[in-house]
Amino acid sequence: MMRQYELVERVTAYDPNADEALLNRAYVYAMKAHGAQLRASGDPYFSHPLEVAAILTELKLDDATIVAALLHDTIEDTDTTRAEIDRLFGPEIGALVDGLTKIKKLDLVTRRAEQAENLRKLMLAISQDVRVLLVKLADRLHNMRTIEHVPPNKRQRIAEETMDIYAPLAGRMGIQWMRDELEDLAFRTLQPEAHKTVSERLEALQESSARVVSEIESVLTRKLAERGVTATVQGRLKKPYSVWRKMDRKRISFEQLSDILGFRVVVPTISDCYRALEVVHTSWPLVPGRFKDYISTPKQNDYRSIHTTVIGPQHQRVEMQIRTKEMHEIAEFGIAAHNLYKDGVSLNGHKPDALESNAYQWLRRLVELLHEGDTPEEFLEHTKLELFQDQVFCFTPKGRLIALPRGATAIDFAYAVHTGVGNAAVGCKINGRAEPVISELHNGDEVEIITAEGATPSAAWESVAITGKARSAIRRAARDAIRSQYAGLGRQIMIRACERSERKYSDERFEPMIQRLGQSSLLDTLAAIGRGEIRSDDAMHAMFPDFREERKKNQPVAAREEGSGWFGLRKAMGMRFRVPGRKEASSAVPIRGIKGDLPVRFAEGGAVPGDRIVGIAMPGEGITIYPIHSPRLKEFDDQPDRWLDVRWEIDGETQRDRFPATIIVRAINEPGTLAGITQVIGENDANIDAIQMINRSGDFTDMRFDLEVWDLKHLLTVISLIKALKVVNTVERLNV
């Protein structure tokens, strides 16, 4: 375990002005606070925060961050309080320790929602001070270095979490050596046999390539010196996980990999980088398509370097990375090399020089997602998407550079320009040619987004877009569109309710009443009425306190006897539903909200009790009942007079009728598949009206089942049980 004076010497070696007394106090305080606590390895618990602090000295962080590392577990694991930390070490360090304390251990796999929520907490803590992230990464690195002492089941979760979140997060912050080590430790834990095999192959390759490496180092160093360029040339092999990932992604063997061997050329200036590139390309043949200039267009984590691949001695492909010493420091230490941690810089109140850091800006954009109304699970999904992607660089017609993940489409480009541009996009031009907005973009593409006033994004775009920002905006726009549709329905319901009581509806009169109904805005209130969460009677009573009494006084006697204005089809209308393809029900289906002697039927696909339903008056045909999620309702958006407010009014204890619902099942083509599906349906008290094979391919068949079920809960149970069958790929309810 590192001694007190050794830690102080490490810090003062790179920061002579560090507060030695502060470091000494923190060392002694943390050691006493953790006392006799032990780690799973049997070592004193204090060895952990001490090692975390030691890791941070490798990043040359300030004394406040080192102190926070020493104290980072005291509030959570000892009797120490935030007030005591503030009193002894100051509010700046207290805030850092408190920020780390609030971050609970993420619980991948078993509790996805909890993992997502805690990732949000991590990002919120980082938004106050980026040093929280640096301490957290060092904390995870030391835990991974000692993971063999953790129980196997817990070890698996920690390694998966490290591979999914912390390693790519370290990469996004530009701390490449930490990312490499985290990935290697997680890879060794998750796939020990694969790690062992790849490592052994790399060791053997290193021995066999020693002569080639030495030859290239000496030749390149000599040729650069002849051009007046002082350079450090160092050969290296790819890391085991990097090799394994490429083998897995490209489905190739170790022998088929062509660029395992690489060289790093470090030179004094940017102009020397391009002079070195000339020497490399005139010394060995260039491999076409393998040149990347990250100096002119840096990566999002501030990484800058020139990459090229050449055919070296013995006809081996060799990757060359050419950079300056400053670029090399940023490549290794990332965000810590920018000194952004000085003076407690936050993502919300950054200093001017922080604007130079793309990694810092990426963090800020990620934090902005927290305030855009996404669920924790959506935020986790978006964060992972952003963490794992390489980049392509595209341009607007005015020359603005837009960096996007590899595989991004014009949709992602539109939302990267501005959310409003993405929402209004109707087409695009790529390099001057009209192309679909789902077209994949490539390096150097010039993209012009065509917009239209009043346009809204298609919900299907969400499955095409790959950036978190685009998916979040599309999902949010879809929610807003649905809310607007419900609000439109709610407004028509209120207009009709007012007409029935010989009153006039207006938004201005209704708006002051929304707080009485527990809502925050007029649109939310009308949408709640449209969804059926607020009864029109309750809304009318909020507007007109005498509404109930007046309505009751003016109602026909027969109607009052049927329940104060709510009508059952059998008693109040004297008729039953007639559903195409079904025998007439043995008793009437009660529906409330429809008056008059009109025939009533369900739309194709059916509706079941539990669905929010609306009635559409069909001239000469009666009334058709649709579930509120039916896409067919869009046909009637501009015909509000035909919309009727209807509700189920069914007593579950006396209900004797099943209701129509249609599902589409995609299943594997093999004997017994259909029998297994029908058995599940029959065993769970559902009835099959018809079966149709609607699409058949070599491996799968799409089947349409017209069912009769009791209600929505019954239907969802049947769907989930069918979906659980091994031969079934997907099950979807048909909405038409």
User: Residue 278: what are its φ and ψ, rounded to 5°?
Assistant: -60, -45
* Residues 287 and 203 placed together within one structural domain of the fold: yes
Q: Report the b/e string of 497-516 with b at 16+ CB within 10 A.
A: bbeeeebebeeeebeebbee
Q: Report the b/e string of 625-651 with b at 16+ CB within 10 A.
A: bbbbebeebeebeeeeebbbbbbbbbe
Point out the domain boundary residue: 607, 630, 657. 657
The string of DSSP letters for 428-482 reads EEETTEEE-TTPBP-TT-BEEEEE-TT----GGGGGT--SHHHHHHHHHHHHHHH
Residue 348, domain member (yes or no): no
Q: What is the enclosing helix (H) or strand (E) of 238?
A: none
- Specify the CATH number for the domain of residue 418: 3.10.20.30
pLDDT value for 578: 35
pLDDT value for 688: 92
- Specify the CATH number for the domain of residue 169: 1.10.3210.10
* Residues 380 and 491 placed together within one structural domain of the fold: no
pLDDT value for 598: 55
* Residues 231 and 297 placed together within one structural domain of the fold: yes
Per DSSP, 148 falls in state G
* Residues 40 and 177 placed together within one structural domain of the fold: yes
User: Residue 466: what are its φ and ψ, rounded to 5°?
Assistant: -120, -10
- Specify the CATH number for the domain of residue 688: 3.30.70.260
Do residues 179 and 334 lie in contact, with contact meaning Cβ atoms separated by under 8 Å? no
Residue 233, domain member (yes or no): yes
What are the structure tokens assigned to 621, written together? Answer: 């045909």
User: In sequence order, what are the beta bridge partners of 403?
Assistant: 393
pLDDT value for 341: 43
- Using alpha carbons only, what angle is made at residue 415 by residues 409 and 416, rounded to the nearest 5 degrees? 85
User: In sequence order, what are the beta bridge partners of 320?
Assistant: 263, 308
The string of DSSP letters for 392-415 reads EEEE-TT--EEEEETT-BHHHHHH
Residue 75, domain member (yes or no): yes
Stretches where the chain sits below pLDDT 70 are 102-128, 258-259, 337-391, 548-598, 620, 640-641, 645, 649-656, 698, 736
d(CA 286, CA 296): 20
Residue 319, domain member (yes or no): yes
* Residues 266 and 363 placed together within one structural domain of the fold: no
Q: Which of 127, 118, 76, 79 is CA-nearest to residue 97?
A: 76
Q: Which residue has the tokens 């990312």?
A: 179
Do residues 156 and 107 lie in contact, with contact meaning Cβ atoms separated by under 8 Å? no
**How many domains, the chain?**
6
pLDDT value for 189: 93
3-state secondary structure of 286: strand
Q: What is the enclosing helix (H) or strand (E) of 19?
A: none
The string of DSSP letters for 84-124 reads HHHHHH-HHHHHHHHHHHT-PPP-TTT-HHHHHHHHHHHHH
What size, in residues, is the chain?
A: 736
d(CA 383, CA 33): 36
* Residues 248 and 230 placed together within one structural domain of the fold: yes
User: In sequence order, what are the beta bridge partners of 644?
Assistant: 615
Q: Which of 697, 693, 613, 727 is CA-nearest to residue 661?
A: 613
The string of DSSP letters for 199-225 reads HHHHHHHHHHTHHHHHHHHHHHHHHHH
Active site residue 537: no
The catalytic position among 20, 43, 58, 76 is 76
* Residues 255 and 185 placed together within one structural domain of the fold: no
Residue 342, domain member (yes or no): no
Residue 616, domain member (yes or no): yes
- Specify the CATH number for the domain of residue 301: 3.30.460.10
Active site residue 117: no
Point out the domain boundary residue: 491, 522, 551. 551
pLDDT value for 110: 41
pLDDT value for 69: 93
Q: Which of 207, 227, 208, 214 is CA-nearest to residue 268?
A: 227
Residue 345, domain member (yes or no): no
* Residues 460 and 318 placed together within one structural domain of the fold: no
pLDDT value for 351: 44
User: In sequence order, what are the beta bridge partners of 449?
Assistant: 428
- Whole-angstrom distance between the N-terminal and C-terminal Cα of the chain? 69
Q: Between the CA atoms of 669, 670, 671 and 672, what dihedral angle is there, to the nearest 10 degrees? A: -80
* Residues 119 and 10 placed together within one structural domain of the fold: yes
* Residues 130 and 26 placed together within one structural domain of the fold: yes
The catalytic position among 15, 20, 58, 77 is 77
pLDDT value for 13: 92
* Residues 213 and 186 placed together within one structural domain of the fold: no
**Helix 63-71 × helix 4-14 angle, to 10°:** 150
pLDDT value for 125: 66
* Residues 424 and 531 placed together within one structural domain of the fold: no
- Using alpha carbons only, what angle is made at residue 727 by residues 721 and 732, rounded to the nearest 5 degrees? 55
3-state secondary structure of 191: coil
Domain that holds residue 588: 555-657
Point out the domain boundary residue: 434, 465, 496. 465
Residue 397, domain member (yes or no): yes
